Structure 1
Amino acid sequence: MKTDELIGLLAADAAPVPRHEGQRRLWLALGGGGLLALLWIALAYGVRPDLGQVFFTPAFAMKEAMPLAVLAGAAVAVYRLAHPGARLGGWTWAMVAPVLVLWAMAGWVWWQAEPAAREALLWGSTWRTCAVSVLLAALPVGACLFWALKGMAPTRPALAGAAAGWLAGATGAAVYALHCPETGMPFMAVWYVLGMTASAGLGALVGARGLRW
């Protein structure tokens, strides 16, 4: 079969893609994955019994601010990476800037704290399970995002997978925070970010193979 004949055959049943289909797929994946993560955390861990009391406190707001800010930037980055030729531009910084701000604030808290209090600020009481729990909460979000990306056209599969994993990790961290009793910034700067980074690394590995055309 000649090339022109093959192109004609492939184009014979082509139909226009609905407008905003890409946004719809990504929002559906992010929303559905977020709900699955919330269900997992609620069933496997349970939400904080005092969530109603702490929800509007500055400490809890700061705890949710980092993953939600990462989520906002990463969602745009994933959308752009799902389209051939689209550049990330400043959205790369938008994905990591909230973490840099958290690290700066955590460093300040660590430096100001009494030496005897620094160990508790870093390790808390749940450091053994925190990063793994964030990663587990990210898995359903990542699976849904990869479903969305498979229906689009990412030309840099490993990078798109890493961005999707980072987005899933941020979502998982925001959901896991509804259970986690820790409030120390140094704790979050290490263990929450570690879980998000593991999710991004897993996304890069899966994306390199699973998002190839």
Structure 2
Amino acid sequence: MAAALLFLLYILPGGANAAALASRLSMPLFWAKLALPLSMSIAAVCVAARLSRPGVRVGHAWTALAAPAALVWVAALAVLAFSPAGARRAMMLGHTWRSCSLHIAFLSMPALVALQLAMRGLAPTRPALSGAAAGVLAGSIGALAYCLRCPEMAVPFWAIWYLVGMSLPALAGVLIGPRALRW
């Protein structure tokens, strides 16, 4: 998380605007937006930890990982259903749809590297799946950091672009896992 915050502050163009962040802190939707990657990161820690050790079943941790994504999709669909047709596109695209997912993926890279190295020492028996779990955790960490910068407050926006941004490191983990997590 520390590396993601440093990347956010010093590498991403525009950094983080302290005044804008301070104004968003009073918005309940900001805290809901923060809850999505936070809850996914907590669940992803459980999944990744279980997949990292031979013979440990993941069990209901999969449900805990899928639940936040499912809840945000249900909320997004409800918001879209009760919104005027002309406003739906703006809710889904916002102003930053072109960069949001890429920024989340970029902010997740230090965590993905660190998690892959840590998991390698724990002897996962399903490297592709373990890599995916590490990627989801890294993506959640990247999204958590990106929440501090993102001006978008529409639930449909997070349901699409935050989840895409978290999925990119998961895909990278699937592709890298079989080689990086081999023991």
Q: For the superposition of Structure 1 and Structure 2, which TM-score range results when normalised by the shorter chain?
A: over 0.9
2:101 maps to: 131
Matched, 1:142 2:142: no
Write the mapping of 1:55-204 to structure 2, written as runs, cut at 5 A.
Answer: 55-204=25-174
Matched, 1:37 2:4: yes
Alpha-carbon displacement from aligned partner over 1:131-175 (angstroms, at most 9, x marks no partner): 111100111110111111122111110010000000000110010
Please report how far the alpha carbon of residue 116 of structure 1 lies from its aligned counterpart in structure 2 after TM superposition: 1.1
Please report how far the alpha carbon of residue 185 of structure 1 lies from its aligned counterpart in structure 2 after TM superposition: 0.5
- Aligned counterparts of 1:141 and 1:147: Cα–Cα separation in 2: 10
Please report how far the alpha carbon of residue 54 of structure 1 lies from its aligned counterpart in structure 2 after TM superposition: 1.5
- Aligned counterparts of 1:183 and 1:124: Cα–Cα separation in 2: 9
- Code of the residue aligned with 2:79 in structure 1: it is V
Unaligned residue ranges in structure 1 (runs of 5+): 1-33
- Code of the residue aligned with 1:143 in structure 2: it is V
Root-mean-square deviation over aligned CA pairs: 0.9
- Aligned counterparts of 1:56 and 1:158: Cα–Cα separation in 2: 41
Give structure 1 regions of 4+ aligned residues with deviation exceeding 4 angstroms.
Answer: none
Considering only CA atoms, is the larger Rg found in Structure 1 or Structure 2?
A: 1
Please report how far the alpha carbon of residue 94 of structure 1 lies from its aligned counterpart in structure 2 after TM superposition: 0.9
- Aligned counterparts of 2:21 and 2:100: Cα–Cα separation in 1: 18
1:211 maps to: 181
Please report how far the alpha carbon of residue 55 of structure 1 lies from its aligned counterpart in structure 2 after TM superposition: 1.6
Which of the residues 47, 51, 60 maps onto 2:16? 47
Please report how far the alpha carbon of residue 56 of structure 1 lies from its aligned counterpart in structure 2 after TM superposition: 3.7
How many residues matched? Answer: 180
- Code of the residue aligned with 2:117 in structure 1: it is W
Please report how far the alpha carbon of residue 205 of structure 1 lies from its aligned counterpart in structure 2 after TM superposition: 0.6
- Aligned counterparts of 1:153 and 1:194: Cα–Cα separation in 2: 29
- Code of the residue aligned with 2:2 in structure 1: it is L
